[in-house]
Amino acid sequence: MRTQCSLPDLAILAALARAPLEKRTLAQRAVLLVEGPTFDRAVALASVDRLLGLGLVRKVYHHYELTQDGRDALVMGIHDHREAVEGLVRLLSPRRLEGAREQETRAVA
């Protein structure tokens, strides 16, 4: 992967793709996209500051917006993450996936 943006970083950038947002609203929208054990509201707020420092986001009064570098990073990051997921899918043959499903079905029954 070429991008330095994590999936949570991309969620923050994607939340800003339509319009500038206040920091709290931005964090809430990003968490809605990729909430998990390592990404919550506090981490999202810190990530906004980190992306600001990297120049991918800029603060205009009380709102944050994407910079051109941020737009470029978003496009490249989505492309890179998609390629990574496609590579993982190719590693798993349909037989392996079917075998995993059968094991899950047996475990539940």
Q: What is the pLDDT of residue 35?
A: 85
Q: What is the pLDDT of residue 99?
A: 65
Q: Which residue has the higher pLDDT, 107 or 56?
A: 56
What is the rounded distance in angstroms from the CA atom of residue 31 to the CA atom of residue 100? 30
pTM here is 0.78
* 3-state SS class at 66: strand
CATH classification of the domain holding 21: 1.10.10.10
Say which residue the tokens 């330095």 belong to.
4
Q: What is the number of domains present in the chain?
A: 1
CB atoms closer than 10 angstroms to residue 8: 20
Amino acid at 91: L
Residue 2 inside a domain? The answer is: no
- CB neighbour burial string for 10-27, b if at least 16 within 10 angstroms, e if fewer: bbbbbbbeeebbebeebb
Domain enclosing residue 22, as ranges: 7-108
Q: Which residue has the higher pLDDT, 91 or 45?
A: 45
What is the rounded distance in angstroms from the CA atom of residue 35 to the CA atom of residue 47? 13
Residue 72 inside a domain? The answer is: yes
What is the rounded distance in angstroms from the CA atom of residue 70 to the CA atom of residue 57? 6
Q: What is the pLDDT of residue 57?
A: 97
Say which residue the tokens 């931005």 belong to.
26
Q: What is the pLDDT of residue 84?
A: 83
Residue 1 inside a domain? The answer is: no
Question: What pLDDT, in 10s, does the model give residues 19-59?
Answer: 999 999 999 999 999 988 889 999 999 999 999 999 999 99
